[in-house]
């Protein structure tokens, strides 16, 4: 059960997981992102909305794209942002995390953006910060990556508009993918017609059936007539034990090639949360091809994160005494 992300009046206060959020809120997030995306085309790519707010990016795990786009999003909203890369040793987790947090809180931060290799880290932090402070989950272990899921939904909506008409296939390492988990929740909440996952048995979570997805082990059957193809990075660093024979063999079976993509609808879009392993889960010809929207996803990440930051920090109004 996720920590309550909403204020009493239903405003988004933390963003830890898609789970438990209703469709209108996800739609509002995308609408706001649409409004913010025009700022990137201005001469001064900045609005003063979050002037005077302090945002701390706490990255306990490496990231380039997510951290950079969170930083840019904060800066385009005129917030003060600092990014900390914190190397964790698993022995000193619980206690040191809390200590780090209280130190940063003593600096009067308004928001923490957290990435951590342990599932539940962002929620833990949300439970321990001062009431007015917002926490955004930028990826926790194998649990959730809700901002990535929302930028993916935004990208899909830019190309496909009406979610209920869509057939979406997610290919690859579902088991280790917090992205896939959040995507599936978001797609389901937005009422997508059919969600498919295509993966070898060893890379599927055991609770797959309960997620409301159709499971395929064969690319040819799974890709037939889909509108959106989402490939996932093979997370070799998270794999313990022999889940796969080799990257090469994986590409043979589950790598997205032009030939396999031709089974999807002709106007299907190809997505990938990045970073891509060329020749492992996706062929270069597809990643760089006309159906790929992979770089668009990166661009959209900024506007979507601006929307999420402004919505969550906007809820702070409820924690301040309103002086007329």
Q: Which residues bind other proteins (CB under 8 A)?
A: 11, 32, 34-35, 38-39, 42-44, 46-50, 52, 77, 310-311, 313-318, 320, 322-324
Angle at 178 between CA 174 and CA 184, to 5 degrees: 70
- Residue 155: CB partners within 8 Å, gap ≥ 6? 269, 271, 293, 296, 297, 300
Residue number with CB closer to other proteins (1 or 44) = 44
**HEC states along 255-309?**
CECHHHHCCCCCCCEEECCCCCCECCCECHHHHCCCCECHHHHHHHHHHHHHHHH
**Could you give the CA distance from residue 186 to residue 191 in angstroms, rounded to a whole number?**
9
Shortest approach of other proteins to residue 54 CB, angstroms?
13
Shortest approach of other proteins to residue 186 CB, angstroms?
21
Shortest approach of other proteins to residue 131 CB, angstroms?
15
Residue number with CB closer to other proteins (275 or 319) = 319
Which residues does residue 196 pair with via DSSP β-bridges, in sequence order? 169, 214
Shortest approach of other proteins to residue 316 CB, angstroms?
7
- Per the CB < 8 A criterion, the answer to whether 219 and 171 are in contact is yes
Residue number with CB closer to other proteins (274 or 314) = 314
**Could you give the CA distance from residue 23 to residue 291 in angstroms, rounded to a whole number?**
28
Shortest approach of other proteins to residue 73 CB, angstroms?
13
Residue number with CB closer to other proteins (52 or 266) = 52
Residue number with CB closer to other proteins (289 or 314) = 314
Shortest approach of other proteins to residue 117 CB, angstroms?
32
Taking the alpha carbons of 262, 204, 140, 313 in that order, is the dihedral positive or negative? positive
Shortest approach of other proteins to residue 44 CB, angstroms?
4
Shortest approach of other proteins to residue 76 CB, angstroms?
10
Residue 213: count of CB within 10 angstroms of its CB: 21
Residue number with CB closer to other proteins (252 or 319) = 319
**Could you give the CA distance from residue 202 to residue 205 in angstroms, rounded to a whole number?**
8
- Per the CB < 8 A criterion, the answer to whether 173 and 199 are in contact is yes
**Could you give the CA distance from residue 281 to residue 275 in angstroms, rounded to a whole number?**
11
Residue number with CB closer to other proteins (32 or 143) = 32
Cis peptide bond N-terminal to 275, omega within 30: yes
Shortest approach of other proteins to residue 154 CB, angstroms?
15
41, 61, 237, 17: which is closest to 149 by C-alpha? 17
Residue number with CB closer to other proteins (249 or 319) = 319
What radius of gyration, in Å, describes the C-alpha atoms of the chain?
20
Residue number with CB closer to other proteins (43 or 206) = 43
């Amino acid at each position: 059960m996720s920590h309550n992300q909403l204020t009493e009046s239903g405003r988004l206060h933390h963003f830890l997981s898609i789970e438990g959020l209703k469709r209108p809120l996800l739609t509002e997030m995308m609408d706001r992102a649409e409004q913010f995306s025009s700022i990137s085309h201005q001469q001064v790519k900045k609005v003063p909305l979050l002037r005077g707010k302090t945002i701390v990016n706490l990255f306990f795990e490496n990231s380039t794209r997510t951290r950079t786009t969170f930083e840019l999003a904060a800066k385009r909203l005129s917030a003060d942002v600092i990014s900390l890369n914190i190397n964790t040793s698993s022995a000193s987790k619980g206690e040191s995390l809390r200590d780090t947090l209280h130190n940063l809180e003593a600096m009067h931060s308004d928001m923490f953006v957290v990435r951590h290799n342990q599932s539940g880290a962002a929620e833990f932090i949300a439970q321990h910060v001062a009431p007015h402070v917002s926490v955004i989950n930028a990826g926790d272990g194998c649990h959730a990556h809700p901002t990535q899921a929302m930028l993916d939904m935004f990208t899909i909506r830019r190309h496909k508009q009406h979610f209920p008409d869509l057939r979406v296939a997610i290919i690859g390492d579902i088991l280790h993918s917090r992205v896939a988990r959040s995507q599936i929740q978001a797609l389901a909440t937005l009422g997508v017609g059919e969600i498919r996952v295509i993966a070898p048995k060893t890379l599927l979570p055991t609770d797959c059936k309960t997620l409301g997805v159709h499971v395929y082990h064969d690319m040819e059957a799974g890709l037939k007539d889909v509108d959106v193809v989402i490939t996932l990075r093979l997370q070799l660093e998270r794999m313990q034990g022999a889940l796969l024979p080799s990257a090469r063999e994986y590409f043979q079976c589950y790598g997205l090639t032009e030939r396999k993509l031709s089974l999807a609808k002709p106007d299907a879009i190809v997505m990938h949360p990045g970073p891509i392993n060329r020749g492992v889960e996706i062929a270069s010809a597809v990643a760089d091809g006309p159906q790929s929207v992979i770089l668009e996803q990166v661009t959209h990440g900024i506007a979507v994160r601006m929307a999420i930051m402004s919505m969550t920090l906007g809820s702070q109004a409820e924690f301040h005494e309103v002086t007329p």
